[in-house]
Amino acid sequence: DQQVKQNSPSLSVQEGRISILNCDYTNSMFDYFLWYKKYPAEGPTFLISISSIKDKNEDGRFTVFLNKSAKHLSLHIVPSQPGDSAVYFCAASPNSGYALNFGKGTSLLVTP
Amino acid sequence: KAGVTQTPRYLIKTRGQQVTLSCSPISGHRSVSWYQQTPGQGLQFLFEYFSETQRNKGNFPGRFSGRQFSNSRSEMNVSTLELGDSALYLCASSYLGGTNSPLHFGNGTRLTVT
């Protein structure tokens, strides 16, 4: 049962524009959310996280927004760069948990 | 600091065999987690160890097992391999585990079962 869903398998964006990656979750016990980026032949790399006590967290070009009532989060990348082309995974866990529940990923392609 | 090291990178096994995968965490990290990545299911949690104790286990059959040594290095074992076990197995470490310590992943071991 997929508790974290990324409904867009792929996304293509022009360099310099905004990339918006979306994620929905079903488990109301989740209160910690993360985004990971994965290049081919490498393991996922931690990008940014957000706790359920916040609705926004920024780190440079990356911003994560959390809408608890809609059980929805999104990752904004501004401006997008070709090096951002990768698969992005959304993950969630309960605050006391040690296991992350991952979405199936969204493949982002940033074109020059 | 060296990253998470997984060996071997690639492995080909036959149905019915068993396999052992190894993971060396980042120095100082005491929590090691294992995940299975397949095209159909994405990344799925297998188990998590801290100070040689399994703290959490995912929904996988008993053929999947693991252990952690006193130096925090970890191994996972899959017995009686099935074709469906073909996957990328990812190990991740963190300082304490839990939500205050983001996971640092290795590059994985690609297991192919024929």
Q: CB A97 to CB B33 under 8 A?
A: no
DSSP A100: P
In this prediction, residue A1 carries a pLDDT of: 75
pLDDT, residue B97, reads 77
CB A72 within 8 A of CB A23: yes
Joined tokens for residue B62: 């008993």
B95 to chain A: nearest residue by CA? A98
Cα–Cα distance list, A17 to A78, A106, A110 (Å): 7, 17, 9
Q: Which residues of A touch B36 (CB under 8 A)?
A: none
Q: Which residue of B has its CA nearest to A34?
A: B102
Query: Which residues, at least 6 apart from A10, have a Cβ–Cβ distance to it below 8 Å?
Result: A106, A107, A108, A109
Whole-angstrom distance, CA of residue B94 vs CA of residue B99 = 10
What is chain A's pLDDT, residue by residue, as a tens digit (112 residues)?
Answer: 789 999 999 999 999 999 999 999 999 999 899 999 999 889 999 999 999 999 999 999 999 999 999 999 999 999 999 999 999 999 999 877 778 999 999 999 999 9
- Residues B7-25 have a mean pLDDT of 98
Omega of the bond leading into B25 within 30 degrees of 0 (cis)? no
